[in-house]
Structure 1
């Protein structure tokens, strides 16, 4: 890792991240694919999965009763131990562990994240770290491996449903020693360099041109699903969805590589939505690009370290370069 010289082109960074990371064959898929392609990714942990269903009352989300959550908890003791095993495999594989928070309270809930104050976000993060640190005590689990990494490795994350404004969320991140976020939808069409906002590096979810859709698209797996068939479970549509996602990612990569070299933010879930339409496309893209020249598939915390190392004038020049993947021509 070194400083760029003025006018030197940076590597093409690609940031893969996965929201929630519950145990799934897709977790194995990405661990294998990353190892084969020299890629590293960021796994965003859900605090609920550190609790058995029986221990659910150990969590109390902002404005909610103990044991309430919008998604499921960690299941049985055996399932929580399996979750710990996968988290350890991910850590030992050289990947980053971040947070996807806990309760997954989104718009439509009586008190969703979009309404939370800084005090609420502080409470949610306090809960996340307590659940992570005290998972054995909370669940009574005495067997299986310990968690292989401390809470201090968690330096960023993505909120549920991309909710939470910088003015309320980022002070809570700072208070917990965190350095990055990837919860904000992009403010512009096209691929741009990340910015530091209120002391936090923001890796926005891209809104970029998709050739198969012939328009700009939020580059998040669930949003692709909504755009293509209204998020209806139509497994027969899986092949078409895979093609759309993969072609869009490749277009984003090609345009950024030839253009401003803005880091690609590839946000995904392990969920098998619509016949598992999205994970194979993302894994194929990882395998296709991560071994290419001048391309680095790294973690968010690594890119933060690289950004902090650079001359601010050099970063300023990169941020002023024309955006990539704005339309079908550039």
Structure 2
């Protein structure tokens, strides 16, 4: 697979306490094929993968209806007057392709070990063979062009395998769209609502017609109806949200996770769609905050280099893990705003960001084991909870600023 430059960095203010935060690129595209670090218990074959139930084929049989998604939480309930809200934590993955580094199964197993759910933003092109690339018409770009590499046939099969498993394990499958255009005349920043509709239609078609496009009829289908499963996404390089939202609303999407430079506050809707931005979080040892995404740690630490001198890795790994942990603690101990984390299945700088994400995840999961008010969920599960709440209570929660505790405690703050 080709390596590609990571483009589209944005300088962003992150509130009064921050000098800058960088909006990261979200390719999920890695040329590395050497095995990545394996978590406890190993991940190569994931023998504990769930058995796929028989389903009703949809279309050409690339997808199928297999019933209600397994391993979902109980129906959300409204907060009682004076009740402290849960601390929601959402780990999400841009691109969500398996390219031989073992990262997709590694984090599936990590989530399974801790009873957690995540969101995987699948790039539609990761299910399209390069030999069929002319099926892709990226708006304002050459036919077949893409700023991320097409996967090999073997890696498409691996991506299909782990996408199946992710859904059966209870995770959400969103979209990261297709060609990842972040600069030049074809950048997603300039796309119209109609062009976003074309991009989404194509992303869905590549998922819904992978059998036709690959000729592989001996592999099991994806066990979900993607038209119903797809309720949100994250744009390449966090660009173009304003023109995406009218289309997202028209399609019935429930949220968008593309906004850059968010702060750790309770979210609101834009254009009738929940706006769930990556957030500025403390960056240990620095005077500014950093966006809650692995690529932004890299961009600040090694000036956008993915292969910096290895002697820096231990300190950078610790700094990155602590940024996530401190972001979680700040929300958990104060306003209980949901904590959003974005990642890529990448081995940048020796894989230290994957190790940092895993360390932070385990820290948060350990807290969840001790306290039932910490919930590691997908974006879809989170907006299920939000939609079940009293709008007046949510409006009250939005009055709390970053790191602000409720006056008089939760019982008084959210009294009837």
Three-state SS of the structure 1 residue aligned to 2:387 is: helix
Partner of 2:376: 297
Partner of 1:63: 140
User: 1:273, CA displacement in angstroms?
Assistant: 0.8
| TM-score, normalised via structure 2 length | 0.75
| TM-score, normalised via structure 1 length | 0.93
CA contact (8 A) 1:136 1:142 kept: yes
Asked whether 1:324 is paired with 2:414, we answer no
User: 1:235, CA displacement in angstroms?
Assistant: 5.2
Asked whether 1:245 is paired with 2:324, we answer no
Give the whole-Å Cα distance in 2 for the aligned partners of 1:211 and 1:105: 32
Three-state SS of the structure 2 residue aligned to 1:186 is: coil
- Shift >3 Å, 4+ stretches: none
- Which of 10, 14, 20 matches 2:95? 20
Show CA shifts across 1:200-250 (max 9, x none): 101111012223323211121111111111022115122222111111111
Partner of 1:125: 200
User: 1:12, CA displacement in angstroms?
Assistant: 0.6
CA RMSD, Structure 1 to Structure 2 (Å): 1.4
Partner of 1:207: 280
Partner of 1:87: 163
CA contact (8 A) 2:281 2:324 kept: no
Give the whole-Å Cα distance in 2 for the aligned partners of 1:249 and 1:18: 15
Give the whole-Å Cα distance in 2 for the aligned partners of 1:165 and 1:31: 29
Find the structure with the greater CA-based Rg. Answer: 2
Asked whether 1:155 is paired with 2:231, we answer yes
More off after superposition, 265-274 vs 280-289: 280-289
- Which of 301, 304, 308 matches 1:234? 308
Partner of 1:217: 290
Show CA shifts across 1:145-171 (max 9, x none): 2111111201101000101132x1111
Partner of 1:37: 114
CA contact (8 A) 2:164 2:222 kept: yes
Unmatched tracts of structure 1, length 5 or more: 326-330
Partner of 1:72: 149
Show CA shifts across 1:17-47 (max 9, x none): 0000111411122111111112110011001
Partner of 1:110: 185
How many residues align? The count is: 320
Three-state SS of the structure 2 residue aligned to 1:145 is: coil
Asked whether 1:169 is paired with 2:221, we answer no
Give the whole-Å Cα distance in 2 for the aligned partners of 1:29 and 1:265: 20
